[in-house]
Amino acid sequence: MEKLRPRFWETVPLKKMNSAEWEALCDGCGKCCLNKIEYEDTGEVDYTRIACRLLDGQTCRCSHYEIRHQFVPDCVRLTPASLPKIAYWMPRTCAYRLLWEGAPLPDWHPLVTGDPESTHAAGQSVRGWTVPEFEVDEDDWEDYVIEEKP
């Protein structure tokens, strides 16, 4: 198993991170698992309260992460190569997006705090307020748009 280097996110470029470091960047917020509406004419993206069918609403993690593409073929494969193409679509607080943009991690990020619950304690996760996608017809997604983008 690959190890995490001390404060690697401050010194190691995204492309040079090992797989353990790359995965550790995820703060477990679940925001990237919210269904989004992207408007073709403007390129604008609206987030909804509707969660991917694989999102565990309590842990804010994918319930089948390693095999998620078997269930959700269009789930994003976030890599250093794909990040520049999809960063606009990622939540503003996403560590991958922040580091790609040259910004620091927020002070509530688990890598900074050492506490995997710090994202939830700071109110930065989707814990407790999502609706499973199988409960909402896709034609009604606009009724679940979040006013403030995460």
Q: What number of other Cβ atoms are within 10 A of residue 73's Cβ?
A: 7
Q: How confident is the model at residue 117 (pLDDT cuts 50, 70, 90)?
A: very high
CA 24 to each of CA 8, 47, 57, 128: distance values in angstroms, whole numbers, following the listed order:
10, 24, 20, 23
The whole-chain average pLDDT of the chain stands at 93
Residue 119's pLDDT is 97
The pTM for the full model equals 0.90
